[in-house]
Structure 1
Amino acid sequence: MDYRLYCMTLRMNIDCNGCYHKIRRALLQMQELESHLIDRKHGRVSVCGAFIPQDVAIKIRKRTNRRVEILEVREAAPPPPPPAAGGGGDGGAGHMA
């Protein structure tokens, strides 16, 4: 399956500390997630990583037994390639002898 880097925002009902910890434990157990952010005040959960968005939402729903609503799915930009090794990159132009 083709996994791409995504950042996804979910809406969940986070009523109490128990709910928060249940969601947090479920997120920490998921190997495909690189990072997560739980916003208790607004009831939002943001996750980033290489995954299929619908599959992650279903897993969270099953593990927490809570309704999950996908608000936004963004494809994350891949990291920039490292600079090429060697030389200054300008080919010696502007060098005075």
Structure 2
Amino acid sequence: MGALDHLSNMFDCSGGSHHNHKNRKQLQTVEIKVKIDCEGCERKVRRSVEGMKGVTSINIEPKQHKLTVTGYVEPHKVVARVAHRTGKKVELWPYVPYDVVAHPYAQGVYDKKAPAGYVRYDQDPGGRHLERASSTEVRYTTAFSDENTGACAIM
């Protein structure tokens, strides 16, 4: 810290505490998957995060088993609090819209439990789950394509 920074902190007239801007939490939306069977479960989940510091809004979608918390909170703390207060299995929302994923029906990405229009989020489905086509397979599949019009004359 330079001398000017030190002097400006000493003579700060803002009246607030001297926190660095880096220490402030960012406003973010945390989506959580938690099993919600009935109105009692929904009430229990809502109460688990209502009193949490920094929470600005809570949205629960019981049919999708989804809890959305918006506020100045940290995701892992919200997950830990909901798990502790409800006693339920809780995880960050693992699903993304299927059109975001390159191969939505690849092994490990496609999930039957996912809500309609969603698949499980996977960092690298192409690297682990999908195999590359061999040169023989590529030759057979491109032999009858519209791009290779001279390859087949049986029309």
Q: Sort the TM-score into its range (normalised by shorter chain).
A: 0.5 to 0.7
- Aligned pair 1:17/2:36, yes or no? no
**Offset of residue 31 of structure 1:** 2.3
**Offset of residue 17 of structure 1:** 1.6
Q: Segments of 4+ in structure 1 off by > 2 A?
A: none
- Aligned pair 1:32/2:59, yes or no? no
- Partner secondary structure for residue 66 of structure 1: coil
Partner residue of 1:57? 79
Structure with greater helix percent: 2
What is the letter of the counterpart of residue 41 of structure 2? C
Contact preservation (8 Å) 2:33, 2:67: yes
Identity %: 29
Contact preservation (8 Å) 2:28, 2:70: yes
Q: Which has the higher contact order (CA 8 A, sep 6+)?
A: 1
Structure with greater strand percent: 1
**Offset of residue 21 of structure 1:** 1.0
What is the letter of the counterpart of residue 9 of structure 1? E
Partner residue of 1:42? 64
Task: Let me know the Cα RMSD of the aligned residues.
Answer: 1.4
- Partner secondary structure for residue 58 of structure 2: strand
Q: TM-score, normalised by structure 2?
A: 0.44
Contact preservation (8 Å) 2:35, 2:88: yes
Flag structure 1 segments of 5+ consecutive residues without an equivalent.
73-97
What is the letter of the counterpart of residue 46 of structure 2? R
**Offset of residue 9 of structure 1:** 0.8
What is the letter of the counterpart of residue 12 of structure 1? V
What is the letter of the counterpart of residue 50 of structure 1? Y
Structure showing greater radius of gyration is: 2
After superposition, give the CA deviation of every residue in 1:4-37 in whole Å (9 maximum; x if it has no partner).
1110111110011211111111121212210010
Contact preservation (8 Å) 2:66, 2:93: no
1:26 and 1:55 mapped to 2: Cα distance? 12
What is the letter of the counterpart of residue 69 of structure 2? V
